[in-house]
Amino acid sequence: MRLIIFIFVLLTLQNVCSQTLTVTSPGNILSLKFELKEGGAYYSIYRFGNEIIKPSRLGFILKTSPNFDDGFSIKNSKTNSFDETWTQPWGEVKDIRNNYNEIFIELEKYSSPIRLMNLVFRVYDCGIGYRYEIPEQAALSDFEIMDELSEFNLSGNHSAWWIGAYQWNRYEYLYKNTPLQKLDTVHTPLTMETKDGIFLSIHEAALTDYPSMTLKRTGGNNLKADLVPWSDGVRVKTSTPMKTPWRTIQIADTPGDLITDYLILNLNEPNKLDDVSWIKPGKYVGIWWEMHLGKATWGSGERHGATTENAKKYIDFAAKYDLDGVLIEGWNIGWDGDWGANGDIFNFTKPYPDFDINEVTLYAKEKRVKIIGHHETGGGILNYEKQLPAALDYYTELGINVIKTGYVNHGQNIKRVDEKGETVKEWHHGQYMVRHYRKVVEEAAKRKIMLDVHEPIKPTGIRRTYPNMMTREGARGQEFDAWDPNGGNPPEHTLILPFTRLLGGPMDFTPGIFNLTFNNEKPGNRVNTTLAKQLAHYIIIYSPLHMAADLPENYEANLKPFKFIIDVPTDWQETVVLNASIGNYLTIARKDRNSEDWFLGSATDEHGRTFNVPLNFLTAGKKYLAEIYKDGEDADWQTNPYSIEIVEEEVTGSSILKIRLAPGGGMAVKFKLVD
């Protein structure tokens, strides 16, 4: 017994005194090394022994010293292994395995006064997450962080897909693909491919009461966290005890493996809502696209879109084709004039005179259609928060439990009143707005309201903790095709999003445009896809709330392809990526959570492609009727985008699906179990 105690004490002392600690993933694929070098904290990552992340610094610079930057010693460390499978109330898969090895490191900085900082590393086979914890300690209560020192010192000048940070239009830009060393400061997720064909994505998880992290290249292949600041230059205003978001690094053999990697979700806390039976995925139409086309207006007047009569028209359409909801934008006072610059003019409980909200909601209830409410704030956070409880209660009393919110304004134009009583302007993605977005989620959850947030903070997996946070925008959506002066989204755009923006979480892209050229409404613009590719978007772009974005009359003129939109679910049991190349092509199959049916989407960029795809994801020994919506033989996104062919054939799990994609084209398939 004494010998056992002696060995235990000896091992503990060795662990505490060691300046290097390692932890390996459950499958022995990834390993993380933590080390102190001259009192500074560093980590590095290896995959099968090959260095992926070179020694990268950790720590903070505070407004009042001493800082958390050097002079550290390891006070203690402990390891832990974890393995569970948890079930999503909705999602791209039903069950997710959360399996990692963890090391918790207590650091002590000998200074006056002594400072304590903890680090937590979780190592998965598919990636790594780490976070800082600042525990309660003497002489440190409220404090301000001026800089987070977290580095990502990459092993090479990788090929990177990125959008720039600190721009006026937030996240709504086309992605660029350049060598890593062409970057300046970029948003996350930042996705990269190494020369050896390994795929990486750097992001963050569980962003809570902390600014958004951008990445700044500081030289060579080194990236450093660059936290979006407050107007006074402070990055974080906080107090002990505190925990940062997780810094995440996904690592995969193929780009498709990034899509089916649920590291971000696993690093978030479990569901905090006791009852989630009211949270329902679905599809909706809305008074929206006609405004983008210029046929109607958000503001009042002769062409006002959100009238009682027009709302009933959309409700009738949704009821006729068994769609779940109708979004109504522009119904409330505040849209007249330059509403994007005057967010304080919106009233969230007062409709325009030509919109009888009581009549409309009663009519929708009779038709068994949900009304999706709308709160455009124009970035007027003070005005919105002042009205928020009453605005949410107003919808609750009307029986509306889904809201689309909006924050149209420039990137650094969010007004608030500071501690001195002065009006200052904050970034969309700083700590002030992170707090606001979470407040809205929590207040909505109290009232059993689901959210679809536009101009949002980027998704970091909080949908696991608050499943009422359904979907959000946070990238260039389909509306750019209606009015972008540069011609809209190029064919490759929706083949980059699944490997970048969508790694953070679902996106309300608003697919399903059937009138692709709209020469009468917007002769200088068009949708840069074929009709079949619009259908494929319902599979390759994941959202639990998907919009059928076009006008009802355009669907009724094309009922055969519209049937796929009617049939396609938005809640899945399983997701399988069948082929993938970032910006070039993607094929995904998903199994409906509520039936035995599977659905497949395949899409390409401006180049036509052919694939032979095994259907071995289908249940062996069973027969399926494949309803195939494919590009016609003469289809081309530029010259003949409307050419579509709809065929049926019987298939099994041993069948091979021949996919032919026209330039800018796609294919959508429903596999219905028949035997």
Rounded CA separation 464/91 (Å): 10
Rounded CA separation 566/286 (Å): 15
Of 231, 266, 301, the domain-final residue: 266
DSSP calls for 476-545: --TTHHHH-TT-S--TTGGGTGGGTGGGTS-B-----------TTT-TT----S-HHHHHHHHHHS--SE
Q: What is the pLDDT of residue 337?
A: 87
Give the CA angle between residues 399, 569, 465 to the nearest 5°: 60
- By the 8 A CB rule, do 284 and 164 touch? no
Give the CA angle between residues 153, 158, 164 to the nearest 5°: 80
Q: What is the pLDDT of residue 594?
A: 97
Q: Which residues are identified as catalytic? A: 479
- Classify residue 462: in a domain, yes or no: no
- By the 8 A CB rule, do 159 and 182 touch? no
CA distances for 448 relative to 391, 441, 454, 588, angstroms: 14, 10, 19, 32
Rounded CA separation 21/6 (Å): 22
- By the 8 A CB rule, do 190 and 162 touch? yes
Rounded CA separation 645/532 (Å): 9
- By the 8 A CB rule, do 373 and 403 touch? yes
Rounded CA separation 534/665 (Å): 8
Q: What is the pLDDT of residue 611?
A: 97
Rounded CA separation 27/267 (Å): 19
Rounded CA separation 101/60 (Å): 25
Average pLDDT, the chain: 95
- By the 8 A CB rule, do 205 and 264 touch? yes
- Classify residue 296: in a domain, yes or no: no
Rounded CA separation 161/140 (Å): 40
Strand 142-148 to 246-252 pairing: unpaired
Q: Which amino acid is at 513?
A: I
Count Cβ neighbours within 10 Å for each residue of 192-228 and write b for 16 or more, e otherwise. Answer: bbbeeebbbbbbbbbbbebbbbbbebeeebbbbbbbb
- Classify residue 253: in a domain, yes or no: yes
Structure tokens at 119: 């680090």
Give the CA angle between residues 169, 175, 181 to the nearest 5°: 110
- By the 8 A CB rule, do 628 and 646 touch? yes
- Classify residue 387: in a domain, yes or no: no
First to last CA, the chain: 65
Q: What is the pLDDT of residue 16?
A: 42
DSSP structural state of residue 332: B
Of 243, 266, 289, the domain-final residue: 266
Structure tokens at 269: 């806390």
- Locus of tokens 């679902």: 506
DSSP calls for 5-56: HHHHHHHHHHHHH-SEEEEE-TTSSEEEEEEEETTEEEEEEEETTEEEEEEE
Strands laid side by side in the 236-239 sheet: 60-62, 142-148, 236-239
φ, ψ dihedrals at 439, nearest 5°: -60, -45
CA distances for 125 relative to 20, 26, 80, 103, angstroms: 21, 6, 15, 15
Question: 432: helix, coil or strand?
Answer: helix
Count Cβ neighbours within 10 Å for each residue of 609-648 and write b for 16 or more, e otherwise. Answer: bebebebebbeeeebbebbbbbbbeebbbeebbebbeeee
The domain spanning residue 608 has which CATH number? 3.20.20.70
CA distances for 10 relative to 16, 59, 104, angstroms: 10, 29, 19
Q: What is the pLDDT of residue 313?
A: 98
Of 266, 296, 317, the domain-final residue: 266
The domain spanning residue 22 has which CATH number? 2.70.98.10
Residues of the chain with pLDDT under 70: 1-18
47: domain range?
17-266
- Classify residue 392: in a domain, yes or no: no
- Classify residue 170: in a domain, yes or no: yes
Rounded CA separation 174/171 (Å): 9
Say how many domains are in the chain: 2
The 10 Å Cβ neighbour count of residue 84 is 10
- Classify residue 78: in a domain, yes or no: yes
- Classify residue 457: in a domain, yes or no: no
- By the 8 A CB rule, do 213 and 245 touch? yes
